[in-house]
Amino acid sequence: MILSISGVVLLGVIVFLFFRKDGLKASHALVCALFGFYLAGTAVAPSIKAGGASLASLLGGINF
């Protein structure tokens, strides 16, 4: 649960920065959000979630 909330917050910040700095239009952000919403209801969603968890685990294991 914590991973998904932080992922949503991180992606929200990235979208906000794209909107403010790189000229992302509100309609583009809406289409991306709808795409993600409908993609979450498909059979691919568990694979995407597992890939995100694997990436977070990989990044969490990096020591500087």
What are 10-63's pLDDT values in tens digits? Answer: 778 888 888 888 787 888 888 888 888 888 888 888 898 898 889 888 888 888
Q: Cβ(1)–Cβ(49) under 8 Å?
A: no
* CA–CA dist 31, 22 (Å, integer): 17
Please tell me which residue, 7 or 27, carries the higher pLDDT value. 27
Hey, is 15 helix, strand or coil?
A: helix
**Alpha carbons 61 and 64: distance in angstroms, whole number:** 10
**What is the token pair recorded at 31?**
């289409």
H or E stretch covering 38: helix 26-39
- pTM of the model as a whole: 0.60
Ordered by start, the domain boundaries in the chain are 2-61
